[in-house]
Structure 1
Amino acid sequence: MTATHTHAGGRLLELVGGDLDVPLVGGEWVRYANLDNAASAPALCRVADAVAELAPYYGSVHRGAGFASLVSTEAYARAREVVGAFVGARPDDAVVFTRNTTDAFNLLAGVLPAGTTVLTFTGEHHANLLPWRRGDVVDLGFPASAAEALAVLEAALRRVGGAALVSVTGASNVTGEVWPVAEIARLAHRYGARVALDAAQLAAHRPLDIAAWDVDYVAFSGHKVYAPYGAGVLAGRSDWLDAGRPYLAGGGAVRRVTADDVVWTTGPARHEGGTPAALGAVALAAAVMVLEETGWERIRSHEDELLERLVAGLDAVGARRLALWDGGDRVGVVSFTVDGVEPGLLAAALSAEHGIGVRDGAFCAHPLMAHFGVPRAVRASLGVGTSADDVDRLLDGVTRIASDGPRWDYIARGASVVPDPDPRPRPSLGGLLSAGAGRAPASAPCSG
């Protein structure tokens, strides 16, 4: 059974570290309020359990004769099936395990047929901007509405006139805005173009169905869907993948090797050279199984309630929220600035003085932030492990800092702002870090 609405006041699912206590610079300890899920979400407890169960059986996949290798191979193959079903893959689609979304788009960029023009909107995450710059790219700018996005895209497709790939986000990692994926796919196919979907921010919040949307490729990361174990996915049409140069030249990607020749295999193995991250793939599959079992209506309802609470509170304090267009569907990602408080300082003070985790910076979307006219902002992002108490603590912290300023001293260190001094003790991590004196006992990874 999936744990729901438990002791933390409105969490939908339990995460590893959901009851983590963290130190403040003043010496107190508080429960950590994690509002940085858009960057990397903690593991679901059931995902951690699945990885722990597989770990004793871990072995090389595909060719090991031992029982552990047999179990690992079966688990890896099953993970591919589960992930394929999660994205709505067609029977002849390939499901390739990658490291993350960036890795997936670099793989796809490497197999684009010669002469293919890529069309992207300028506000995309760098993972969906930079891989395409090795070839012919059409920049579609910053549409002021979903309707304008479709109009700009259609005009560009008319101009291109030849082979093209439209690569677009499903939900912005800066604004949370959900893009009209099905409409983009219909439009692109009308002009003979293919569509790649960056679902990194969408997959944890909305169901994916590339067959129904008629999307050709989809990519997302395990660490965005509560499986931070080093695996991502590229799924979609097999023809480009089978014809393209293998992404990693090495064992597992070949059928036959001689002293002066190689015959590459086809299918997912063609681009999974070397020993794959089997534990990461299994973790990812376990995570999407839990999300689907929980139900997307429940996930969305939970998030919408928290998002409404967050937006209302930020508006009340006078924060500026970043958005490309008014209204429309949004996932639980809100980037904002507060007059008179530098974003890096605000994020550092929220952490050091209130035990709240947010993100500050340009969020790997520098052109979009420049379009908004702000080099940096603070981002709060919600998830299935977020509670109303987490949101209220954030709003209280922002209000206090905006009104009275930080209570501690801070300095710039590289691109970050950090407490000066920072007396908060770190965990030992088996000797990797030096444990500070007076550290409180770590909470259980998954309680309740």
Structure 2
Amino acid sequence: MTVTLVPPPAPQPPAVADPLDVLGVPGQVNLDYAATAPCARAAADAVAELLPWYASVHRGAGALSRRCTLAYERARQAVGDFLGARAGDHVVFTRNTTDALNLLARALPAGTTVVTFGGEHHANLLPWPRGSVRLPVPPDPAGALRALDAALGELRGPDPSGPRSAQHGPPVLVAVTAASNVTGERWPVAELARVARRHGARIAVDAAQLAPHAPVDVAALDVDYLALSGHKLYAPFGAGVLVGRADWLDAAPPYLAGGGATSHVGAATHDVRWATGPARHEAGTPNLLGAVALAAVCTALADADRAALHDAEQALLTRLREGLAALPHVLELRMFGPAAPRVGIVSFVVAGRDSTQVAAELAAAYDIGVRDGLFCAHPLARRLLDEAAARSGRRDLPPTALRASIGLGSTTGHVDRLLAALAALA
């Protein structure tokens, strides 16, 4: 008998992990991305690679410090590129969106009026100076444009010569979210920027909720400032960013006074020259790992097929919203019409049930994590709860809401598990 020797199969190269895979705990369904998104593999890998080299930034001549300084400044460049920063923009690392917008508030020229809408997260309501203008939540995106145009026209007064220059009258800053953290509905940022330009106003955008779901480009949108948080962008290591025009930032006192923010400190108390550029507002030892993690996720997203990711998320979002609409006693909260563009965030109430109790039962009995409360947007959330009660005619709605939010790593199984649990609880 002839025996034929079959060579063993050639070894296969190990599967390459997707840098946008998210880390999680088996069995747990995380539907609270809008608060803090899970960590992407790209962020975890970037941090693990740098940890053996971890050392000071901008403060040492040794190999470790030089490598960390290079990693930090490369991270700044990567984040700036991801967000479409212009040649003259600063990219300032902060702790989160709240920190970034507080920094901008401290940098406003004296006499600046800030115009916001009542639909903002507290991070974009509370830092601004007294005398700021808060416009009502509009019924639709077109209403936002009309309201802003009217408000800026009133602030600036008639200008028979045409579009206003930024130098005409006291400065005005429009501060608006790109996507609501309560409803996920998107605001018409580019159109609002055009209205602001027409009146010689600047515009700052809270992109914390939009950036994880869709491309955001400062130059393409023609906005002056943009803020976001790494922990909502799959890089949960405590870093955020403020990107925007240099003039106000370089003219303002440092956000924090301390080492790294100075170019000279003399013996006399007031003999201090502050640095220009991002360093002016980054005193102290920076969050190197947070910056590197954020940059790694930005790079991975820039290399990904964002259109395909968007389509997959929108299919899940539709499944979630249609499933909630089919449940008796469940009401979705919204600002605009039901077909308004939105990201993967849905807030809702279960009539006759306390939202905190429902969230606790979802966690304890079904291993599902959602958010309950007013989502750090109290004026908006309370208004939407009142409107939901008026639309439905129900008097048994709770005083707070539930929020389910999805993103990378979310599946139809996760959505269906929530819907089944809510059906059982309701």
State the TM-score, normalized to the length of structure 2.
Answer: 0.88
The equivalent residue for 1:414 is none
For 1:222, which of 216, 227, 230 is the aligned residue? 230
Q: Give unmatched runs, 5+ long, in structure 2.
A: 1-14, 157-168, 387-397
Q: What is the Cα deviation at residue 13 of structure 1?
A: 4.0
Which residue type is aligned with residue 366 of structure 2? H
> Of 78, 85, 110, which residue of structure 2 is paired with 1:82?
78
**Structure 2: how far apart are the matches of 1:375 and 1:271?**
40
Mapped pair 1:276 → 2:286: yes
How many residue pairs match? The answer is 383
1:325 aligns with 2:340: no
Match of 2:366 among 345, 354, 377: 354
C-alpha spacing 1:69/1:153, structure 2 compared with 1 (3 Å) = same
User: Which secondary structure does the structure 2 equivalent of 1:201 belong to?
Assistant: coil
> 1:229, 1:283 within 8 Å by CA — same for their partners in 2?
yes
Q: Distance in 2 between matches of 1:325 and 1:291?
A: 29
CA shift in 2, pair 1:3/1:391, >3 Å: farther
Q: Give the match's secondary structure for 2:209.
A: coil
Alignment match, 2:214: 206
Cα distance in 2 for partners of 1:3, 1:359 equals 30
State the alpha-carbon separation in 1 of the partners of residues 187 and 49 from structure 2. 38
Instruction: List aligned pairs for 1:84-123, cutoff 5 A.
Output: 84-123=80-119
Most deviating of 314-323 and 353-362: 314-323
Mapped partners of 1:329, 1:311: distance in 2: 13
For residues 81-128 of structure 1, give each alpha carbon's deviation from its aligned partner in whole angstroms, at most 9, with x where no partner exists: 000011111011000000000000000000100111000001100000
Aligned mates of 1:171, 1:124 — CA distance in 2: 9
Out of 120, 123, 142, the position equivalent to 1:124 is 120
- Give the conservation status (yes or no) of the 8 Å contact 1:320–1:337: yes
Q: Distance in 1 between matches of 2:251 and 2:305?
A: 38
Tell me the CA shift for residue 3 of structure 1. 4.6
- 1:14 matched to 2:21? The reply is yes
More displaced, 57-66 or 215-224? 57-66
Partner Cα separation in structure 2 for residue 301 and residue 337 of structure 1: 27
Contact 1:33 1:357 in 2 (8 A): yes
Please report how far the alpha carbon of residue 63 of structure 1 lies from its aligned counterpart in structure 2 after TM superposition: 2.3
User: What is the DSSP-based 3-state SS (H/G/I as helix, E as strand, rest coil) of the residue aligned with 2:127?
Assistant: helix
- Per the TM alignment, residue 298 of structure 1 is displaced from its structure 2 partner at its CA by 1.4
Partners of 1:249 and 1:135 in 2: CA distance: 24
Report the equivalent of 1:427. none
Q: Which residue of 1 aligns with 2:152?
A: 157
CA contact (8 A) 2:20 2:42 kept: no
The corresponding residue for 1:28 is none
1:379 equivalent in structure 2: 403
| Runs of at least 5 residues in structure 1 that lack an aligned partner in the other structure | 5-11, 22-30, 403-448
Letter in 1 for 2:201: A
Once the two structures are TM-superposed, the CA of residue 389 in structure 1 deviates from its matched residue by 0.5
Aligned residues of 1:50 and 1:286 also touching (Cα < 8 A): yes
1:282-361 equivalences under 5 Å are 282-318=292-328, 319-326=330-337, 327-361=339-373
1:147 paired residue among 122, 142, 148: 142
The percent of aligned pairs where both chains have the same amino acid is 58
Deviations 1:145-186 (A, max 9, x none): 001110000110011114200000000000100100000000
State the partner residue of 1:35. Answer: 31
Aligned residue in 2 for 1:47: 43
Partner of 2:392: none
**8 Å contact from structure 1 (residues 362, 377) kept in 2:** yes
Correspondent of 1:65 among 61, 64, 70: 61
Contact 2:90 2:245 in 1 (8 A): yes
The CA deviation at 1:289 is 1.1
Instruction: State whether structure 2 residue 150 is matched by structure 1 residue 138.
Output: no
Contact 1:303-1:332 at 8 Å conserved across structures: yes
Deviation at 1:16, TM superposition (A): 1.6
Greater radius of gyration (CA)? 2
